[in-house]
């Protein structure tokens, strides 16, 4: 049981490049979320999904796309990377109806030059 896994762990992009951050969980959790973490800002919600085929925007969705074709996977796509997207990205999952038990992945540290 691996929990929440994220790849890659580190990534450097040039401005304008696109890429996908991968997130997978093996706990059969309905809810999955993407957060970004910036110094002094805590974690801010980018997008979330309440189940396969359903996604919605969080607090800071601009510049990011998500899809949820399976229960296990919730990839985050950067369409055209910008330096403002330099951050650490965390994926989290939780069982349906239980907001408090959010399990976080180890994070992806992204630098956009």
Cβ 25 to another protein shortest distance, Å: 12
Looking at the Cβ atoms of 14 and 40, the one nearer to another protein is 40
Contacts of residue 36, defined as CB under 8 A and 6 or more positions apart, other chains included, come to 43, 44, 46, 60, 85, 87, 88, 89, 90
Alpha-carbon span 84 to 94, nearest angstrom:
28
Question: Between 13 and 105, whose beta carbon lies closer to another protein?
Answer: 105
What is the binding site for another protein (CB under 8 A)? 4, 31, 33, 35, 40-45, 48-50, 56, 58-59, 90, 92, 94, 99-107
Minimal distance in Å, beta carbon 71 to another protein?
A: 15
**Least Å distance between CB 48 and another protein?**
5
**Residue 17 vs 102, nearer CB to another protein:** 102
Which is nearer to another protein, 17 or 103 (by Cβ)? 103
Nearest-angstrom CA–CA distance, 100 and 89: 20
Cα–Cα distances (Å) from 68 to 12, 17, 76, in that order, read: 25, 22, 10
């Amino acid at each position: 049981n691996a929990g929440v896994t994220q790849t890659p762990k580190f990534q450097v992009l040039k401005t304008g490049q696109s890429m996908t951050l991968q997130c997978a969980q093996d706990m059969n959790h309905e809810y999955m979320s993407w957060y970004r973490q910036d110094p002094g800002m805590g974690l801010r919600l980018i997008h979330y999904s309440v189940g396969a085929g359903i996604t919605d925007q969080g607090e800071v969705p601009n510049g990011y796309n998500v899809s949820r074709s399976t229960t296990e996977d919730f990839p985050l796509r950067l369409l055209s990377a910008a330096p403002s997207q330099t951050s650490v990205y965390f994926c989290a999952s939780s069982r349906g109806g239980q907001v408090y038990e959010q399990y976080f992945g180890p994070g992806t540290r992204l630098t956009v030059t």
